[in-house]
Amino acid sequence: MTGTLTRVLGATSAWTLRGLMQSIDAHRTALVVTVFLLLLAPHAGAAQSAKSSASKYLADYSRAFEDLAQAASPAVVQIHVHALAALGKGEEERTGFVSEREASGSGVLVDPDGYIVTNAHVIRSARRIEVAILRSDEKGEAPHGHLLPAKLIGMDQEVDLAVLKIEGHNFPALSFVNSDKLRQGQLVLALGSPLGLQNTLTHGVVSATRRQLRPQSPVVYIQTDAPINPGNSGGPLLDAEGRIAGINTLILTESGGNEGIGFAIPANVAKDVYQRLRKDGRVRRGLIGVIPDDITPRLAEALGLDRDSGVILSDVAPESAAAAAGLQSGDIVLAIDGTPVREVHDVIQTVFQHAPGDRLSMEVLRNKQKLSVTVAVLERKNEPSQLEDLANYDTSLVRQLGILALTIDEKVNAILPDHRLLTGVAVAAVPAEYAVLNPGLLAGDVIYSVNKQRVESLDDLKNLLASRKAGDAIALQVERSGRLIYVTTALE
């Protein structure tokens, strides 16, 4: 694939928007018909009449867009992030030092009580988050900007979504559409703050409904030609009824700007992640223990299959949920929960979208006999990336080691259940702005001691490091992937 995938950082009711968008479609159709008649008009009188009608429909078409922007914009917010960033060679070569930087992106209110959906990459590493909303004040003035502090409820970096909360009630909010029903060519509109320009509206069409950008990735995107640029991230892509069709996230570009190839996280995925983050603060994902493969003509010939497309299970893990349900290597997957399976991604995405504890009804073909099995979805184990969702930047930062860390507790144990000791400190993440100070620790490592002195909590680790002076040699005893190793460094 040519080009570069770039994350574009940086009060109305549903019936009102639905009416506006239907009006836009009607006026657009009428305008096209009128212009066609204008071209075919046989004499001046008819031409003048057609021209007058065209002008009327054009004016109505324009006003419909104006009304839509006025109605939907109050639910779309600009997000201001204050984060730490590393000072590098371009700044007096002060490697290892950091300064506070500001960045901005977009978000959308999805609940009148102040819940906002945005992209995880918009607020990653944020020390402070503020949200600019458009609303009228008590004097009844036209909607204008108000800046409010926002709290991070949770984020899911695997899908690149986050949920924020601002205090208050009766905020204008937009609802989600069933994105499975989107069609190629459907009219869509993007709202957000590209390049910091708050309250910007653009429009286009759905270019593709299920675009997979990376092989074996469970995440698919809506592709659109609606212009989006850096700063649009986290803003909504609206459908023809004024509902959220997707959350704008990426652009494919060779120039760094919009080239008409943008991507949005589908509304069904965004809604599911929003609900899980709002409820639990993190997203738990599961697995069933199978490796699916696409059936090719050559594979079908070699295995004597009666079909040259579809999905076959190349492996079923021993002692997995799939094995317990009776699935076997060589089974052909026909459907999951009643939905036909045509390619590997159908299996991967279906499992990805289900939470641990859910059950999947699978129809498979084995030796030309159809079988129905029910498979439990079990929680993934040892997913270190989930630890970052538990970390608070200010309290979890261990600057001397360039890491975010957590005291081992019940929540950490749920993510890293198999470490050797009951106490210690887990490495949650390695922030990019402090990576130069990191001696080689990885997310998921568990620190047990500093220079032979036992570490039982994050406070212990911080105190032991604080008692050393610059240049002192440090040896950390660390458990990584079930093995104990030493990680050494000298304090800066």
Question: What are 389's two structure tokens?
Answer: 């969702």
- pLDDT tens digits, one per residue of 342-372: 999 899 989 998 989 999 999 999 998 999 9
User: Residue 393: its pLDDT value, please?
Assistant: 80
User: Residue 335: its pLDDT value, please?
Assistant: 96
Q: Give 56 or 490, the one with higher predicted confidence.
A: 490
- Which pTM was predicted? 0.71
User: Residue 9: its pLDDT value, please?
Assistant: 44
Q: Give 434 or 468, the one with higher predicted confidence.
A: 468
pLDDT band at 401 (very low <50, low <70, confident <90, very high): very high
- pLDDT tens digits, one per residue of 162-183: 999 999 999 999 999 999 999 9
Q: Is 396 a catalytic residue?
A: no
**Given phi > 0 = left and psi -120 to 50 = alpha, else beta, which region is 491?**
beta
Q: Is 60 a catalytic residue?
A: no
- pLDDT tens digits, one per residue of 251-278: 887 666 667 888 999 999 999 999 999 9
Active-site option among 207, 233, 396, 449? 233
User: Residue 24: its pLDDT value, please?
Assistant: 55
- The average pLDDT across 300-326 equals 93
**Given phi > 0 = left and psi -120 to 50 = alpha, else beta, which region is 369?**
beta
Size of the chain in residues = 492
Q: Is 233 a catalytic residue?
A: yes
Number of CB atoms found within 10 A of residue 156's CB: 22
- pLDDT tens digits, one per residue of 22-59: 555 555 555 555 555 555 555 666 667 666 777 877 88
pLDDT band at 10 (very low <50, low <70, confident <90, very high): very low
Active-site option among 160, 272, 346, 389? 160
Active-site option among 27, 80, 121, 345? 121
Instruction: Report the 3 state secondary structure along the chain.
Output: CCCEEEECCCCCCHHHHHHHHHHHHHHHHHHHHHHHHHHHCCCHHHHHHHHHHHHHHHHHHHHHHHHHHHHHHHHEEEEEEEEEEEECCCCCCCCCEEEEEEEEEEEEEEECCCEEEECHHHHCCEEEEEEEEEECCCCCCCCEEEEEECEEEEEECCCCEEEEECCCCCCCCCCECCHHHCCCCCEEEEEECHHHCCCEEEEEEEEEEEECCCCCCCCCEEEECCCCCCCCCCCEEECCCCCEEEEEEEEEECCCCCCCCEEEEEHHHHHHHHHHHHHHCCCCCEECCEEEEECCHHHHHHHCCCCCCCEEEEEECCCCHHHHHCCCCCCEEEEECCEECCCHHHHHHHHHCCCCCCEEEEEEEECCEEEEEEEECEECCCCHHHHHHHCCHHHHEEHHHCEEEEECCHHHHHHCCCCCCCCCEEEEECCHHHHHHCCCCCCCCEEEEECCEECCCHHHHHHHHHCCCCCCEEEEEEEECCEEEEEEEECC
- pLDDT tens digits, one per residue of 275-299: 999 988 878 888 999 999 999 999 9
pLDDT surpasses 70 at 146: yes
